[in-house]
Amino acid sequence: MTGKCYKFADLTSPTAKASQPLDYFPYDWTIKNVRTKPTPLGRYVLTAVCGVWTPALRCQAGEAGRRDMRCSGVHLREITSDNREAVCALRVRKRQKRFVASVATSLKDAAKAPQKNPWYRAVYRGDEPVGFVMLAWNTPTDDPGPGQYYLWRLLIDKHHQRRGIGYEVLAQIVDLVRADGATELLTSYQPGEGNPEPFYRAFGFQPTGEIDDGEIVLRLTLSSR
């Protein structure tokens, strides 16, 4: 079971405010013990639930910095009738909804645009679905979209954000498209407060200067290594 996602500011800072709303609380609530008591009618009643806060699993940066950070246990899986419902139940925060369509909408968009060669996967950490990623994969050069390899949708469920999972997904996607011969990966984001630009910038994406359908276009140039 995952704890509520709030965190307090860095309280060592003299200007910190404990009530400042932030993105995550880096602990998970884990139920350790549930006690029940039999009633005369033969039913059980819940008498106590014990749990502990444990540090949330966070991917570690390598010695050479974030570029080396790999997040163990994160992998991409196909979406089938077995996991479709669970993946469609993933949610971003309320204020992030304007930046990304839901998984269900994305799957419908993919079905409506076969010319974009939609490629999508569920993101898993261990056996738990935690996100969704969709690309327009090596689209024909005459396609009106921003680029041949275009990161079309990416979302990490609100309970799993800021743990390095999004970064790891980008790293895996980059490996995949590079192996397919891509020399660049494009994406775009809707401007507005809380937009994902810092996330993409932290990975190395740069603005191209173009605007596509009101969205700011970013490019990651892929080295041949």
Ligand X SMILES: CC(C)(COP(=O)(O)OP(=O)(O)OC[C@H]1O[C@@H](n2cnc3c(N)ncnc32)[C@H](O)[C@@H]1OP(=O)(O)O)[C@@H](O)C(=O)NCCC(=O)NCCS
Q: For ligand X, give the closer residue by CB, 10 or 34.
A: 10
Residue 222 DSSP one-character state: P
* Shortest reach from residue 33's CB to ligand X, in Å: 31
Q: For ligand X, give the closer residue by CB, 110 or 155.
A: 155
CB 121 within 8 A of CB 151: no
* Shortest reach from residue 97's CB to ligand X, in Å: 8
Residue numbers at the binding site for ligand X (CB under 6 A): 23, 92, 96, 99-100, 154-156, 161-167, 189, 196, 198-199, 202
Instruction: Report CA-CA distances (Å) from 71 to 97, 137, 172, 201, 225.
Output: 25, 24, 10, 19, 21
* Shortest reach from residue 150's CB to ligand X, in Å: 11
* Shortest reach from residue 180's CB to ligand X, in Å: 21
Chain residue whose CB lies nearest ligand X: 166
In whole angstroms, give the CA distance from residue 104 to residue 21: 29
* Shortest reach from residue 131's CB to ligand X, in Å: 7
Q: For ligand X, give the closer residue by CB, 51 or 145.
A: 145
CB 16 within 8 A of CB 10: yes
* DSSP-assigned states of every residue in 12-61: TSTT--TT---S--SEEEEEEEEEEEE-TTS-EEEEEEEEEEEEPP-PPP
Q: For ligand X, give the closer residue by CB, 182 or 218.
A: 218
Q: For ligand X, give the closer residue by CB, 181 or 191.
A: 191
